């Protein structure tokens, strides 16, 4: 268990899957989790199950909605310490069958949605002189596909990887996290931004542990 005492952690896609397990880790560690999810019913059920959570409905496919919700969250809480982006969609459509609509939907939610949440909170962290952003990606973004995703999904996650590295280089110390072992050995510092690739067996547990390590790094 990691110590989140006194910390407020925003988790996109926190209603279910990896996001829910991240929320569980935050709550078990004594922190307050803010669940940002399109499925408000499931988000409220998760909040009721785990306790010490707030719920805000967000549409990661709508830039204006994201900015409005993020502004409200930052206004509602005295402090926000961490943003963890778990929200997204999987596209399993083979390349030759990918329509413009499928392509646009996948990149709009997975890549543009991640950009917009980061963009919305970044000035707040700069003003407060501290904060952490953790973007949960997929190995599909490195190898061009994987257990779940194909062309559109892999492209969106490759974009998340590049975006996260660029944010880190522009805003602080870049962290080259190429594998679990390299993450474990890094000296993560305040303001560092890391891409976590999680996929396959025990992905939820792995992501929970890694995010706890990164979010609490001194």
- Quote the pLDDT of residue 168: 86
Range from 9-23, 69-83, 148-162 carrying the lowest mean pLDDT: 148-162
- Quote the pLDDT of residue 98: 94
Residue range of the domain that includes 194: 8-215
- Tally the domains of the chain: 1
Rounded CA separation 195/112 (Å): 16
Q: Classify residue 1: in a domain, yes or no.
A: no
pLDDT at residue 198 tops 80: no
Q: Classify residue 2: in a domain, yes or no.
A: no
Model-wide pTM > 0.85: no
Nearest to 138 by CA among 128, 148, 125, 129: 148
Q: Classify residue 167: in a domain, yes or no.
A: yes
Give the tens place of pLDDT for each residue, 124-182: 999 998 899 999 988 888 888 766 668 999 999 999 999 999 988 887 654 443 333 33
Alpha-helical runs (H) found in the chain? 17-28, 40-50, 63-76, 100-107, 113-128, 140-143, 151-171, 180-185, 203-215
Q: Classify residue 40: in a domain, yes or no.
A: yes
Of residues 6 and 148, more confidence is placed in 6
Domain of 41, CATH number, reads 3.40.50.720
Catalytic residue among 56, 122, 124, 153: 153
Report helix, strand or coil for 200: coil
Rounded CA separation 48/94 (Å): 38
Rounded CA separation 21/190 (Å): 24
Of residues 180 and 109, more confidence is placed in 109
Rounded CA separation 58/129 (Å): 26
- Quote the pLDDT of residue 217: 46
Q: Classify residue 99: in a domain, yes or no.
A: yes
Q: Classify residue 130: in a domain, yes or no.
A: yes
- Quote the pLDDT of residue 141: 86
Asked whether 180 and 206 are in contact (CB, 8 A), the reply is: yes
- Quote the pLDDT of residue 135: 93
Q: Classify residue 3: in a domain, yes or no.
A: no
Q: Classify residue 47: in a domain, yes or no.
A: yes
**56 annotated active-site:** no
Give the tens place of pLDDT for each residue, 18-69: 999 999 999 999 999 999 999 999 999 999 999 999 999 999 999 999 999 9
């Amino acid at each position: 268990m990691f110590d989140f005492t006194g910390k407020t952690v925003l988790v996109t896609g926190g209603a279910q899957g990896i996001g829910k397990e991240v929320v569980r880790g935050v709550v078990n560690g004594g922190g307050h989790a803010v669940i940002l999810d399109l499925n408000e019913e499931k988000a409220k059920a998760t909040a009721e199950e785990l306790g010490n959570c707030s719920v805000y409905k967000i549409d990661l496919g709508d830039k204006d909605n994201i900015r409005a919700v993020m502004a409200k969250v930052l206004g509602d809480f005295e402090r926000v310490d961490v943003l963890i982006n778990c929200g997204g969609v999987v596209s399993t459509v083979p390349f030759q069958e990918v329509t413009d609509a499928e392509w646009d939907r996948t990149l709009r939610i997975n890549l543009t949605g991640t950009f917009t949440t980061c963009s919305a909170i970044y000035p707040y962290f700069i003003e407060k002189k501290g904060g952490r952003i953790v973007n949960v990606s997929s190995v599909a973004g490195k190898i061009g596909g994987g257990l779940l995703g194909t062309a559109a999904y892999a492209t969106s996650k490759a974009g998340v990887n590049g975006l996260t590295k660029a944010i880190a280089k522009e805003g602080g110390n870049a962290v080259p996290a190429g594998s679990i072992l390299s993450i474990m050995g890094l000296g993560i510092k305040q303001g560092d931004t890391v891409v976590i690739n999680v996929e396959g067996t025990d992905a939820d547990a792995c992501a929970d542990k890694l995010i706890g390590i990164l979010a609490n790094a001194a």
